[in-house]
Amino acid sequence: MVETHFQAADQPGAAAYTRGKRDQMAHRASRVWSSCCRDRRERTRTASRASEETGALTVGEAAVVRSGFEALRSGEHPTIEDLASHSGLAPSMVGEIVGAFMRTGRADVNGDGCLTGIVGLTTETTRHRFTFGGTSLFTWCAFDAVGIPAALQVDAAVHTTCGYCQGPLEVYIVAGSPPKVSPIRGWLPHIENCGNVRAEFCPDVNLFCSDEHLGAWRAAAGIEGQAMDLHALSNLGRRSWGPVDAGH
């Protein structure tokens, strides 16, 4: 993909996005995220987040997410113009959507204004990833690594580490389904007025070797939330990322 960039004089909305991007990125980690919590509270107060519940998005937002998701899965870093071209939306509208996503921790861009992450999928190296079709893809948290391949209904190998002992964990997903029986447990924190999703939610979204390790971590961390087995995580993932894979 050719990473061409829009001109501010031609696209006022996109220019506004460019001017604001630097300030947004400078304080993104400290912002309080409130707008994305509404749908999470409605669906479950402890388990889900609006940043990846794509069913809560508007039609335009869903189109941008889908375009960005497909590009990142291919290893590309799309520009605003790229996303506009693939989504069928005006660059000014795409710029506004991406800017709003950045403010709520649902998207990241690099210094050139090209997308590097959106609703869980990222090209940046993290300790959470899944591999399918010969491609290894990084994610923002362990739930992303399980939920995305579940929604895609693909065969995938999930690689992460235990949130307590830091030991390596692998989960093999077949046609979108995890093993029927597994000691591995997931944890999703409950954040009443959560801020930036990556800064406040993702760090505590992990898999654990066993109930014992999860219990030990919970006792030390003192964080409210919900424990979920792999099947519950994959089911939530299908609801969360299903719209992103429309037409897959």
pLDDT of 201 > 60? The answer is yes
How much of the chain exceeds pLDDT 70, in percent? Answer: 75
- Residue 221's SS3 state is helix
Contact present, 80 and 109 (Cβ < 8 Å): no
DSSP letters for 27-38: HGGGPPP-GGGH
Contact present, 66 and 243 (Cβ < 8 Å): yes
What pLDDT sits at residue 244? Answer: 66
- The pTM is what? 0.76
Structure tokens at 146: 């399980």
Residue 169: band (very low, low, confident or very high) from pLDDT cuts 50, 70, 90: very high
What pLDDT sits at residue 30? Answer: 32
Distances from the Cα of 91 to the Cαs of 8, 9, 15, 87, in angstroms?
Answer: 11, 12, 10, 10
What pLDDT sits at residue 45? Answer: 43
Distances from the Cα of 88 to the Cαs of 79, 82, 222, 235, in angstroms?
Answer: 14, 10, 46, 30
- Residue 114's SS3 state is coil
pLDDT of 136 > 50? The answer is yes
Question: Distance between CA atoms of 142 and 62, rounded to whole angstroms?
Answer: 22
Q: What are the φ and ψ backbone dihedral angles of 216, each rounded to 5 degrees?
A: -65, -40
Instruction: Give 244's Cβ-side CA count (13 Å radius).
Output: 28
Question: Distance between CA atoms of 161 and 157, rounded to whole angstroms?
Answer: 13
Question: Distance between CA atoms of 147 and 165, rounded to whole angstroms?
Answer: 23
Q: Which one-letter DSSP state was computed for residue 137?
A: E
